[in-house]
């Protein structure tokens, strides 16, 4: 079985009861913020590229730019295409040099999801590209803020079979977590998460880390979560900074200063998350 760098980074974090922060970036200001925070915490990070960003006219350039910038960091910076459902997009991402893809078959029946993931893994892993899959349904929007209710939970028996047959390096699980803002107080199924951890050999991924209390995040990491996805809180920091800067003085705004302030605002959020994820030195 091929060992990808994606798997190595996640498994190393799992062994030390930490989680690799995975942050969705839409531009270079956000990328700089993530790398800056990661270097301060001496933490590996995963930069997530949303499918809508990759499908845009400059999507390939964005991925290649992220890869080039990450290569000049003092910490490990992996680039992953997130939540992609089409083989064509996965192949284009591979051509751009991504370190991992998320083959999202969560809307498919179990057998079709398994077959889709296995097909992607057979193609990607010999090229050194890691594969993440999702079992169960993590509801909500990745690119827009909005409240969401929890979807179908990951079934432990299915997760065991999926881990054995899919060839995936990482499994995104649904235990009450959602993308975007939570509708009401988050309530994760800790018994389900613990059972999945005890029965699965591969790294677990928790999507929807934005909005979960820090204590819940720490507990999830202690239960075997090795990858945590953050997007909503970064967007909130970004738009909050814009609202503050684009006030009455917007006509005289220094564009470079605006970019610096945006980066600073996001860096603060990322660094705080990395501390919670276990990167304290």
Cα 236 to the center of its chain, rounded Å: 17
Collapsing DSSP to helix, strand or coil, 51 comes out as helix
Contacting residues for 180 by C-beta, under 8 A, at least 6 apart: 140, 141, 142, 144, 145, 146, 147, 148, 208, 210, 211, 232
Which helix (H) or strand (E) element contains residue 268? Answer: helix 255-276
Separation between Cα atoms, residue 268 and residue 274, nearest integer Å: 10
Residue among 82, 99, 104, 216 flagged as catalytic: 82
Instruction: Report CA torsion sign: 212, 213, 217, 222.
Output: negative
Query: Residue 171 gets which letter from DSSP?
Result: E
Separation between Cα atoms, residue 130 and residue 125, nearest integer Å: 6
C-beta separation of 220 from 173 below 8 A: no
Q: Is 189 a catalytic residue?
A: no
Q: Catalytic residue numbers? A: 82
């Amino acid at each position: 079985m091929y060992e990808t760098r994606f798997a190595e980074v996640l498994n190393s974090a799992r062994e030390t009861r930490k989680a690799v922060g995975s942050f969705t970036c839409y531009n270079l200001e956000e990328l700089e913020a993530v790398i800056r925070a990661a270097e301060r915490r001496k933490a590996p990070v995963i930069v997530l590229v949303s499918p809508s960003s990759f499908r845009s006219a400059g999507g390939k350039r964005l991925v290649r730019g992220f890869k080039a910038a990450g290569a000049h960091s003092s910490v490990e910076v992996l680039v992953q295409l997130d939540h992609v459902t089409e083989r064509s997009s996965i192949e284009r991402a591979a051509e751009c040099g991504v370190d991992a893809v998320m083959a999202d078959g969560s809307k498919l029946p179990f057998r079709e999801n398994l077959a889709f993931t296995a097909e992607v893994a057979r193609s990607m892993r010999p090229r050194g590209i890691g594969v993440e899959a999702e079992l169960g349904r993590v509801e909500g929007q990745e690119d827009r803020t909005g409240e969401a209710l929890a979807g179908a939970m990951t079934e432990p028996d299915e997760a065991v079979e999926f881990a054995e047959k899919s060839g995936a390096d990482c499994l995104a699980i649904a235990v009450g977590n959602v993308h975007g803002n939570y509708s009401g107080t988050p309530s994760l199924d800790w018994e389900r998460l613990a059972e999945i951890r005890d029965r699965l050999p591969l790294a677990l991924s928790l999507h929807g880390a934005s909005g979960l209390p820090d204590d819940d995040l720490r507990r999830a990491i202690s239960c075997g979560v090795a990858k945590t996805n953050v997007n909503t809180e970064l967007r909130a920091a970004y738009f909050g900074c814009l609202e503050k800067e684009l006030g009455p003085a917007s006509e005289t705004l220094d564009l470079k200063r605006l970019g610096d302030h945006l980066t600073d605002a996001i860096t603060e959020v990322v660094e705080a998350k990395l501390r919670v994820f276990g990167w304290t030195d």
